[in-house]
Amino acid sequence: MSKVRDNVDLIASKGARLWRSVPHIPEMASDLRSVRRRSTVVGALVVAGLLGMSYRAWDICVRRHGEYAAQGNRQQLRTYTLEAGRGNIVDRNHISMAVNDRLDRIVLNPRLIRSHGRTDEVMAFLMGMYGPDQAEYIAGELERDKAYRKLRLPVDDDMAAAVRAAKLPGVRLEQDPHRVYPRGGLASHVLGRVNAQGQGNLGIELGMNETLAGREASSPAYYAAFGGKGTKLLVDGHPDHAVSHGQTVVLTIDSAIQAMAEEEIDTLVRNWHPVGASILVLDPKTGEILAMANRPSFDPNHSVASASQTVNLAVQHAYEPGSTLKAITVAAALEQGTIRPDQTFFCEEGRWQYTPRHAIRDTKRKGWLDVTEILAVSSNICTTKIYETLGKESLYRWIRRFHFGEAPQVQLPGVTRGLVADWHKWSDIQAANVSFGQGMSASPLQVAAAFAALANGGVYRVPTVVAQILDADGEPVWDHERDGVPGERIVRKGTADTVLEMLTAVVHSRDGTGKNARIEGYTIAGKTSTAQKANPKGGYFEDQYYASFVGAVPASDPRLVILVSVDNPEGGHYGNDVAAPTFARVGTRALAYLGVPEEGSQANVPKPIAIAADDPELVDGFIADLDVQPDLPGRRVVEFTTGLPDFTGLTLAQALSEAEKA
């Protein structure tokens, strides 16, 4: 019994200890409730998180899908521009004048260069190519916190090879479109040039920029997040419209004649050191400009040192045309019937008190002259008397009819219209001045185009530098001959031909003012001008002149009209001395190039000039020049000629030849 009791006690003791080691039921229940609460909270949080995530996903994918899609597109989707190739410019014989090329440019990634610790090395490399003059610019580009910087410095083939060989991090090459002018500065004022963005800003490049530039197209593209500016990946390959490449512009310019004009204008500049000069060569039958040369000039392949180099003096500069306008005054009076070709006028021995305050003067003292002789000796006095048969209003209307006072519709920018004041504003002396080319202004092109109308039988052709516009297949979409402005009759053919014959006396008569324009084998119809430069403050400069000559050759059937205009030459100022010799040189070369046959030996025969008897010294001097004696020595000579052959039915050139034989 005692053992059993002992065992029972032992068991009871262990049981008590075990009981004490096991939590009581109430405590366990409390712990279980705590666990459940924590589990519920965690579960609720999980559910809430899932619900929040679900809502966010729904918000992004459904409710605000459009907004986020647009934001994503703004970040990744860009417009990929499919560039249109700029059209070429060629001369009338399809010789390239302006074409496209690709130009290497150095592109830097300053961030990448710094991350590799190579800034100094890259700086030294670039300095070795460009020298210390570009150090500040290069350093500034390397300091920028950018991943893409394109240097605006030229890269030649050797430089490009050096960049490729160096393999410097953050330094690479990229090609840009580049406009090239294969003939250098030839016809630069006609061609113009493009700016850094490839858009025209001078000449035909500007005047016909829309035609040359074409129409680019756009397509959506994704930009990758690497590769400098990113790699363009087309989304669907369908641009918004087809690329329309620029069209080819065919100029009326003949590169060979242009080169002749530029060589001769350089000779003129070396001889006379003018402020500026222009040469124009036109086909009077079509209005096509075969050459347009100016000095100063520029090479469109290079930067321009001075703005004055880019001014196209032939179309953008207006000057007082002076005596060249006398041909227009005479044509107007003949056409209107207020004078006859053989009518004579008294030239007042070189000085005429036109108003109480104003006198009109001539450089030569002359008496009675017919209209041909008036043009030959370029009499201001007798031209004024011819104008007086017209009156102010008629003179004004005729000048405007020859298209003075309006800008020629040539395809070049900045064309001046000159200035012709309304006739109501003319005083008597102003009207007289206008009749011989002062008190108004015109561009060299306006003068040449008006003279070309006389050379074309009285029909004015709008001057043009564009012959054709060609599409990508080389087919003409515009043709000057087919689509250009038709000719406009200004005066009757008989009037124009009469004036043109009269103007041959300027070059081929003994007393003509344009003898230096003679071309062996051809008759020249032309007009000199020596005009004082107008002072902006009023009046005229005493020692500054425009010297010019404009002429048609051959006079019997003009193929060319050539104008030479010289602004303020040094060492001389007469049109015959300064401009006429250049006319002759350009004409000689151009006629040979075009294969125009010679007219014959009569081309250079001078026309006898009838001399008034009011100045015996002039008469005696003229007789001495001819190496003959007057019929009645000691008597007052009324008129002198070398005889009077029968000129009936002869052309002017033939009549001149017969007169010389007589």
Among 29-43, 114-128, 444-458, whose mean pLDDT is lowest?
29-43
- pLDDT score, position 629: 35
**Same domain as 171, residue 132:** yes
Report residue 74's pLDDT band, with 50, 70 and 90 as the boundaries: low
DSSP symbols for 486-502: PPEE-S-HHHHHHHHHH
Report residue 123's pLDDT band, with 50, 70 and 90 as the boundaries: very high
- pLDDT score, position 515: 97
The mean pLDDT of 210-222, rounded to a whole number, is 74
**Same domain as 625, residue 514:** no
Q: Token pair for residue 344?
A: 């004579």
DSSP symbols for 592-657: HHHTPPP--GGGGPPPP--EETT-HHHHHHHHHHHT---SSTTSPPSEE-S-----TT--HHHHHH
Closest CA to 249 of 466, 61, 438, 435: 466
- pLDDT score, position 110: 93
The mean pLDDT of 142-146, rounded to a whole number, is 90
Residue 114 counted as domain residue? yes
pLDDT digits (tens, 9 = 90+) for 222-234: 555 444 444 445 4
Residue 60 counted as domain residue? no
Residue 613 has pLDDT above 60, yes or no: no
Please give the model's pTM, rounded to 2 decimal places: 0.76
The mean pLDDT of 100-116, rounded to a whole number, is 91
Residue 503 counted as domain residue? yes
Residue 445 counted as domain residue? yes
Distance CA 207, CA 219 (A): 29
**Same domain as 572, residue 660:** no
Q: What three-state secondary structure class fits 255?
A: helix
Domain harbouring 118, CATH code = 3.90.1310.10
Residue 71 counted as domain residue? no
Residue ending a domain, among 181, 196, 231, is: 181
Residue ending a domain, among 127, 158, 181, is: 181
- Of the segments 21-25, 109-113, 128-132, 519-523, which one has the largest average pLDDT value? 519-523
Indicate the number of domains in the chain.
Answer: 3
- pLDDT score, position 617: 38
**Same domain as 400, residue 329:** yes
Residue 174 has pLDDT above 70, yes or no: yes
The mean pLDDT of 105-114, rounded to a whole number, is 92
Domain that holds residue 109: 100-181
- pLDDT score, position 80: 55
Distance CA 547, CA 484 (A): 33
Residue 645 has pLDDT above 50, yes or no: no
Distance CA 559, CA 285 (A): 8
Residue 30 counted as domain residue? no
Distance CA 255, CA 202 (A): 19
Q: Token pair for residue 465?
A: 């530098």
Q: How far is CA 593 from CA 222, 440, 448, 516, 597, in A?
A: 58, 36, 21, 21, 11
**Which residues make beta-bridge pairs with 476?**
470
Report residue 341's pLDDT band, with 50, 70 and 90 as the boundaries: very high
pLDDT digits (tens, 9 = 90+) for 464-505: 999 999 998 899 999 999 999 999 999 999 999 999 999 999
Distance CA 503, CA 372 (A): 7
Residue 604 has pLDDT above 90, yes or no: no
422-434 exposure pattern, b = at least 16 Cβ within 10 A, e = fewer: ebeebeebbbbbb
- pLDDT score, position 59: 72
Distance CA 56, CA 53 (A): 5
Domain harbouring 391, CATH code = 3.40.710.10
The mean pLDDT of 589-605, rounded to a whole number, is 79
Residue 266 exposed, middle or buried by CB count within 10 Å (0-12, 13-18, 19+): middle
**Same domain as 576, residue 639:** no
Residue 65 has pLDDT above 90, yes or no: no
Residue ending a domain, among 162, 181, 200, is: 181
Report residue 625's pLDDT band, with 50, 70 and 90 as the boundaries: very low
- pLDDT score, position 445: 98
**Same domain as 578, residue 464:** yes
Please provide the distance, in angstroms rounded to a whole number, between the alpha carbons at the two ends of the chain: 190
Distance CA 288, CA 188 (A): 17
Residue 394 counted as domain residue? yes
**Which residues make beta-bridge pairs with 101?**
178
- pLDDT score, position 635: 31
Q: Token pair for residue 169?
A: 């991090």
- Of the segments 171-175, 338-342, 624-628, 635-639, which one has the largest average pLDDT value? 338-342
Residue 240 has pLDDT above 70, yes or no: no
- pLDDT score, position 661: 47
**Same domain as 456, residue 427:** yes
- pLDDT score, position 26: 59
The mean pLDDT of 644-650, rounded to a whole number, is 45
323: which DSSP letter?
G
- pLDDT score, position 472: 87
**Same domain as 592, residue 623:** no
Residue 212 counted as domain residue? no
**Same domain as 394, residue 520:** yes
- pLDDT score, position 228: 44
- pLDDT score, position 237: 53
**Same domain as 638, residue 575:** no
The mean pLDDT of 311-339, rounded to a whole number, is 97
pLDDT digits (tens, 9 = 90+) for 538-569: 888 888 999 999 999 999 999 999 999 999 99
Query: Greater confidence, 363 or 12?
Result: 363
**Same domain as 646, residue 605:** no
Closest CA to 280 of 93, 408, 399: 408
What is the average pLDDT value for the chain, to the nearest integer? Answer: 84
**Same domain as 642, residue 605:** no
The mean pLDDT of 82-93, rounded to a whole number, is 88
Please give the single-letter amino acid code of residue 390: L
